[in-house]
Structure 1
Amino acid sequence: MLILDFTSTILDLYLSLFVCPFIFLPYPAGYPLGLFRFLNIPTSVQVYLGMSFIGVVAISLINLLESRYNKLCTITEDSKKRKYRRYFIAIIQYIFSFTFFAPVYFNIPDENYAIQVLTSELYCVDPEKFHNPYFFCLTLQPEIAMFSILSAIILVVPQMIFYPIGSFRYLNKNRNSTSRTTYIFRMKFILALCFQVFIPVIFLVVPSTFVVFSLYTKYFNQGITNLSMIFFATHGGISSIVTLIVHKPYRDFTLQTLYQFKIFRFIIKIPKVRDHRETALEFYKEARPKSTVVGRNLPQRNLYVQ
């Protein structure tokens, strides 16, 4: 989860502060408006890093789901062979996130020729925008960029669907072999994790779908293109907000921290943060069945062992 939050923050800062891309879809061309242009960083490098960061965030989401699935649905401890295999797959996926967009760079056109083509094709755009000193056209064949993005979507989306469904199926299948408290606790955790992952994913999948659609149909709509870039840039903020909403420990800690500042004491009222053992005991009492068998001493369960 720390890796996911870290990469999401980097992606947000990169797209909203350091690059601020202005793109002319259906062609992968445009120019940056962020701080990196004042550091004379080539636009081609900025584009490649931006696409790589998006891929890294997607792979981090997969690794989070896989890690929770492995913890919940694996009865025995990880053997060294299994652990190394998981690490190897994760490394391969991260390498893919940095290289999936590389084929587009094998066919970079001449800048003057690209400007002529874009001026004739996108006649509703002011030609002066194509003469921006930081303007860069990645390719005049949108199909290459489309297939690169599709390859990433095909790798990421099935895994995002498989791990939550597999977790729910495992919990329901083994419902009778665990205590009711453990089952409820795990089910709530998986539901919170799904909300934490899939709500922010919308801010990646929706604009990516429009980009692929625009590249395939050569549909031009500058307003939707700009909105797609905003969706990409707000992914991390949405992810942080959803995390605070669905995970009570994070929410309590954040409110307790804000309460230290006097300005927030007039806005929020929070109770004293209790010890985690008190919270666990209260949860156990609420989840315990109401009816008990008379004359039978039920064994006490240790929450921390489960």
Structure 2
Amino acid sequence: MSSGYWPDYVESSCRENYTYFDSGDFLQTAYHLTALFTIPLSIFTFYTIIRVTPKKMKNMKIPLLIAHIWGTNLDLCFTVYGAPYIFFPGAAGLSLGIFRALGFASKWVAYIGQASIVAVAINFIMLLENRHSQIPLSNFKITNHKVRTAFLTINYLFAFLYILPFYLDKDNQMEIRKFVLKRIPCPTIEFFNKQTVVLLKGGEFLPFLSMVVGLIIVLSQTLFFSIHTVYHLNFVKGANVSEATKAMQRKFLSYVVMQMLIPWTVLAGPIFYSLYADRHDYYNQAFNNFSMLFMALHGLLSNSCTLFIIKPYREFVKNLITGNSEFNSREIAHTTNAAPVSVVVGSTSG
């Protein structure tokens, strides 16, 4: 037996029915092909934000770059340095990416991936808080720059700390692997790779508590800023705020929601599939692989939303495609109401 396999590996003819689509080689190749599209698009989006953002939108440049950095990090986690190969319905996986080649344990690659997903959720809170802070009719909002910076810093730190105790917990891999093999009697050969890690056997309280607490913290902030903003824009009257201004704010709030929620659709599908597989003990490695590839499309959707939802960026891309060399982003800024544009994606200023 090769030293690269766990001691519970045994030869079996049951794996003869697996196809190329079930293999780690297929998934690794597909990840890399996806990266050939998403990485250049991400670089182009960085360039567009830096190059095209008009002066009247300067307050949005830093928060937009922050959101884009975290989104790019998640994209790279899927396609380059993490490249997860997951064994649903078991909570087990193997890293196929650069981190594995550098000697990172799959357990900590999983930790980075999970924290990166939460960090992207924190982006949504950041943008919603900014929209909330722009409502002149509300007195309950963050107006101080230092307070806002501290608020966002705590949230991003939370993304990396809330689940850390679970990953620091010691476990006996040979023991918990038995629980997965009961649910998946004949996994692909990759399951026996020495780098494969089983995170849960099922029924553990600490990770469940961490997930529930994390979900409550993220959802409570999201719902507060969303509901409070919608309420003030639709039901609170003010003599100093025109209906046209409120309508414009509602429009840009919808842009923020679309910009963040559309990419999340590619994350939600595989998550629901994993819940279904867990509930019914359903194992199909090809489905597992394609579900992870579907999640890897997050970068493509995220960058596309940034480029095509915000008007100056959309016009820049349009002019590049049509070959219009006379494009000037400042002209677009002058033809757009300055106040709403400056808060399309948020501002770190009070």
In structure 2, what is the Cα distance between the partners aligned to 1:7 and 1:184?
30
The 3-state SS of whatever aligns with 1:138 is: strand
| 1:268-298 deviation per Cα after TM superposition (whole angstroms, max 9, x unaligned) | x6984471465138xxxxxxxxxxxxxxxxx
**Who is 1:65 aligned against?**
128
Contact 2:90 2:183 in 1 (8 A): no
**Does 2:83 match 1:20?**
yes
2:184 to 118, 122, 132: 122
Q: Indicate if the aligned counterparts of 2:136 and 2:241 stay in contact, CA closer than 8 A.
A: no
CA contact (8 A) 2:89 2:282 kept: yes
**1:186 aligned residue:** 249
Aligned pair partner of 2:264 in 201, 226, 230: 201
Query: Which amino acid in 2 is paired with 1:110?
Result: N
Unaligned runs of 5+ in 2: 1-63, 338-350
Give the secondary structure class of the aligned counterpart of 1:178: coil
State the one-letter code of the partner of 2:262: I
Pairing 1:236–2:299 present = yes
1:109 to 171, 180, 185: 171
Letter in 1 for 2:107: S
Task: Using CA pairs under 8 Å that are at least 6 residues apart, name the structure with larger relative contact order, 1 or 2.
Answer: 2
Rounded to whole Å, the distance in 2 between the matches of 1:77 and 1:161 is: 15
Deviates more, 1:142-151 or 1:1-10: 142-151
Displacement of 1:45: 1.8
Residue in structure 2 matched with residue 55 of structure 1 by the alignment:
118
Shift of 1:62: 0.9
Structure 1 residue 171: deviation in Å? Answer: 1.7
239-248 or 269-278, which deviates more: 269-278
Counting aligned pairs with the same residue, the percent is: 29
Judge conservation of contact 1:21–1:229 (CA < 8 Å) in 2: yes
Name the CA distance, whole Å, in 2 between partners of 1:203 and 1:271: 37
Could you tell me which residue of structure 2 aligns to residue 296 of structure 1?
Answer: none
Conservation of the 8 A alpha-carbon contact between 1:207 and 1:229 = yes
**Alpha-carbon distance change, 211 to 94 in structure 1, aligned in 2, over 3 angstroms:** farther
TM-score scaled to structure 1, two decimals?
Answer: 0.75
Task: Tell me the secondary structure at the aligned position of residue 19 of structure 1.
Answer: coil
Distance in 2 (alpha carbons) for counterparts of 1:272 and 1:175? 39
Quote the Cα distance in structure 2 between the aligned partners of 1:104 and 1:39: 23
1:18 alignment partner, SS class: coil
Range 65-74 or range 206-215, more displaced: 206-215
1:90 aligns with 2:152: yes
Determine if contact 2:177/2:201 at 8 Å carries over to the other structure. Answer: no
Tell me the amino acid that sits aligned with residue 133 of structure 1. Answer: K
The offset of 1:247, in angstroms, is 1.5
The aligned length equals: 271
TM-score of the superposed pair, with normalisation by structure 2? 0.66
Structure 1 residue 255 corresponds to structure 2 residue 345: no
SS at 1:134's partner residue?
Answer: coil
Contact 1:30 1:137 in 2 (8 A): yes
Q: For residues 39-65 of structure 1, give each alpha carbon's deviation from its aligned partner in whole angstroms, at most 9, with x where no partner exists.
A: 122222211111111111111221111
Secondary structure at 1:59 match in 2: helix
- 1:37 maps onto 2:100 in alignment: yes
Task: Quote the offset at 1:248 in angstroms.
Answer: 1.0
1:140 to 201, 206, 212: 201
Provide structure 1 residue ranges, at least 5 long, that are not aligned to the other structure: 282-306
In the TM superposition, residue 85 of structure 1 has moved relative to its aligned partner by 4.2
Q: CA deviation at 1:33?
A: 1.2
Q: Radius of gyration: which is bigger?
A: 1
> Does the aligned pair in 1 maintain the 2:312–2:333 contact within 8 Å?
no
Which whole-Å CA distance do the structure 2 matches of 1:214 and 1:230 have between them? 17
| Structure 1 position 7, deviation (Å) | 0.3
Secondary structure of the equivalent of 2:336?
helix
2:162 alignment partner in structure 1? 100
**1:193/1:218 CA distance change after superposition, 3 Å:** same
Aligned counterpart, 1:166: 228
> Cα offset for 1:6?
0.9
Q: Which amino acid aligns with 1:167?
A: T
- The structure-2 alpha-carbon separation of the partners of 1:188 and 1:170, relative to structure 1 and needing over 3 Å to count, comes to same
3-state secondary structure, aligned to 2:85: strand
CA contact (8 A) 2:82 2:98 kept: yes
Deviation at residue 98 of structure 1 after TM alignment: 0.4
Question: Which moves more between the two structures, 226-235 or 190-199?
Answer: 226-235
Structure 1 pair 182/104, CA: closer, same or farther in 2 (3 Å)?
same
Report the Cα distance in structure 1 between the residues aligned to 2:202 and 2:108, rounded to whole angstroms: 19
